[in-house]
Amino acid sequence: MATTIAVPRPTVRSSETPLPPHDGKRPWKVDVEHLSFFYGDKRALEDISITVQPNVVTAFIGPSGCGKSTFLRTLNRMNDIIPGARVDGKVCIDGQDIYGPGVDLVSVRRKVGMVFQKSNPFPKSIFENVAYGIRINRIASSRSELAGRVEESLKQAALWDEVKDRLQESALAMSGGQQQRLCIARALAVKPDILLMDEPASALDPIATQRIEELIYQLKANYTIVIVTHNMQQAARVSDFTAFFWLGRLVEYERTDKMFTAPSEKLEMGGLAEERVRAAVQSLGDRDIAAIDRVLRGDEPINELHVEIDNRCFKLLALHQPMATDLRAIVAAVKINTDLERVGDLAVNIAEAARRYATHPPVKKLIDIPQMGDIAQTMLHDALDSYVRRDTILAHQVLNEDDRLDGLKTQIFRELLGYMLDDPTTVEPALDLILISRHLERIGDHATNIAEDVIFMVSALDVRHHAPNPPV
């Protein structure tokens, strides 16, 4: 079950991985190649390669001191003013290397605007704060054009209605959230293409933070935004892509939805696990040794994915100490991952029993085992579906299905016991069928675990020791 990714995926490049093909329509807005950065002798950034698409929000996350701000500042050469600072590598904006010869610094900074963690309005009027950049860049040719530009910028920064009647008052008399939006208006006034924001909401209260986040969402229609944040939930809320820095290196760059819960890998892994259960049960009925061997050999991709998903989740857990919803989502992802890997192992166990079973004459016509196989697969499928769609009703349905699987297993056991008592030559193959029914029941248990994790993740409700009835 492969998922398609709607947006072309930006890439982390190293010397081994080639540049992704440009599709002509969407050139990379920012294209960084092998960038290293030094404060004197100290290397703060190491061999960073990253591409950013236009009109998306990219979040930079990572522990304190990992180089997020340093990297952000390399994107508009803000580090140039630091004595002893040195850059290696390339930063191309719209194809032009901003560290190349003959580059006009003023036009780089105009094109790539910046908003800092602490709002830093000038001790001037609200109007003058926004007008400043327009004036020094000689963008407006008349007073009315200047006023129009100031108004437009304040509107874009969602501040106009609050300040339109007091434009001549001091900016320093505004609230913290308003001052930050004023700084955003000031950055927007010179019509940049790219807006860099270094923890723009970290000094603000939750309501002011929400306004800034809404603003970021609106601005991305016209701007390419890169935001540094310490808050994983904020990264998850506002960004399309997330880059994870650690000790001056870019260790992970992914679509934000994938970064936080890795649903597509999980689906891919779930698809592989489901397919293997289906193939194992089918090969049992068909007595098809070649098909059985394929199931036995095919465990590798599941194991690889398992390790990859785990690594990602543990990295997030270890380095970013997520809280509440994030934490529940990551813990659920790790547990689901383990469940899926076990399902893969159980499919192997089924195939091994099927191979032994095929060496004996059939004990009986197989009806209930394929039925158990169908139920187990459906449970697995629905459990993963409920995970991706955060659908707790479907998750509850999975919990209820488990009883059917248990009932069938008991029925199969009683029936096969009868065969074994009647005819001792059926003992070996009948035991294998009993084993297979147990494995299928275990697969159902893993689907149930996944469904319980989904319910916990979505509603923070632990249903593991309660009656599994859907909420009405």
Ligand X SMILES: Nc1ncnc2c1ncn2[C@@H]1O[C@H](COP(=O)(O)OP(=O)(O)OP(=O)(O)O)[C@@H](O)[C@H]1O
x/- track of binding to ligand X for residues 75-114 (CB under 6 A): -------x--------------------------------
Smallest gap from Cβ 19 to ligand X, in A, equals: 26
Q: CB of 68: closest distance to Mg ion in angstroms?
A: 5
Pick from 4, 15, 64, 142 the residue near ligand X by CB under 6 A.
Answer: 64
Asked if 178 is part of the footprint of Mg ion (rule: CB under 5 A), the reply reads: no
Tell me how far CA of residue 156 lies from CA of 34, 85, 125, 138, in angstroms.
35, 35, 19, 21
CB 450 within 8 A of CB 402: no
Mind giving me the DSSP string for 185-245?
HHHHHT--SEEEEESTTTTS-HHHHHHHHHHHHHHTTT-EEEEE-S-HHHHHHH-SEEEEE
**Smaller CB separation from ligand X, 69 or 437:** 69
CA distance 36 to 89: 6
- Candidates 64-72, 260-268, 389-397, 413-421; binding stretch for ligand X (CB under 6 A): 64-72
By CB under 6 A, residue 343 contacts ligand X = no
The rounded distance, in Å, linking the Cα atoms of 153 and 166 is 16
Q: Which residues pair with 51 in a beta bridge?
A: 31
The region of 63-71, 185-193, 323-331, 419-427 touching ligand X under the rule CB under 6 A is 63-71
- For residue 42, give the H/E element and its range: strand 42-52
Asked if 74 touches Mg ion (CB under 5 A), the answer is no
**Which token pair is 251?**
């260790």
- Based on the shown chain and the rule CB under 6 A, indicate whether residue 68 belongs to the binding site for ligand X: yes
Specify the residue, 37 or 260, whose C-beta has the smaller distance to ligand X. Answer: 37
On whether the CB atoms of residues 99 and 77 are closer than 8 A, the answer is: yes
The least distance separating Mg ion from the CB of residue 398, rounded to whole angstroms, comes to: 44
Structure tokens at 217: 């969402």
Q: Which is nearer to ligand X, 62 or 133 (CB)?
A: 62
**Are 35 and 74 a contacting pair, CB within 8 Å?**
yes
Residue (307 or 318) nearer to ligand X, CB: 318
| Side chain identity, residue 444 | G
Dist CA 15 CA 318 (whole Å): 28
Stretch near ligand X under the rule CB under 6 A, chosen from 66-74, 149-157, 173-181, 366-374? 66-74
Only one of the segments 69-77, 307-315, 353-361, 410-418 lies at the binding site for Mg ion (rule: CB under 5 A); that segment is: 69-77
Is the separation of the CB atoms in 277 and 343 below 8 Å? yes
How far CA 359 is from CA of 216, 288, 415, 419, 436, in Å, comes to 65, 11, 21, 18, 16
User: Smaller CB distance to Mg ion: residue 247 or 327?
Assistant: 247
The CA dihedral of 344, 347, 353, 358, to the nearest 10 degrees, is: -130
**Cα separation of 245 and 449, whole Å?**
33
**Site track for ligand X across 207-226, x = CB under 6 A:** --------------------
Q: Are strands 194-198 and 30-39 parallel, antiparallel or unpaired?
A: unpaired
Interaction partner, residue 312 (ligand X, Mg ion, none; CB < 5-8 Å by kind)? none
Interface pick for Mg ion out of 49, 53, 69, 234 (rule CB under 5 A): 69
Beta strands 57-61 and 85-93 are unpaired
Residue of the chain from 30, 32, 35, 44 that contacts ligand X (CB under 6 A): 44
Minimum separation from the CB atom of position 401 to ligand X (A): 47
Considering the rule CB under 5 A, would residue 229 count as an interface residue with Mg ion?
no
User: Which partner in Mg ion, ligand X, none is near 66 (CB below 5 to 8 A by kind)?
Assistant: ligand X
What tokens were used for 1? 């079950």
Q: Nearer Cβ to Mg ion, position 26 or 118?
A: 118
Residue 320 binding ligand X, by CB under 6 A: no
CA–CA dist 59, 250 (Å, integer) = 12
Task: State the binding string over 102-121 for Mg ion (x if CB under 5 A, else -).
Answer: --------------------
Choose between 112 and 319: whose C-beta lies nearer to ligand X.
319
Q: Give least dist CB 82 to ligand X, A.
A: 5
Q: With contacts defined by CB under 6 A, how many residues of the chain interact with ligand X?
A: 11
Residue 410 burial by CB count (10 A; 0-12/13-18/19+): exposed, middle or buried? exposed
Pick 8 or 65: Cβ nearer Mg ion: 65
List the single partner that 67 binds among ligand X, Mg ion, none, CB under 5 to 8 Å by kind: ligand X
Residues that bind ligand X (CB under 6 A): 39, 44, 62, 64-70, 82
Which residues are near Mg ion by CB under 5 A? 69
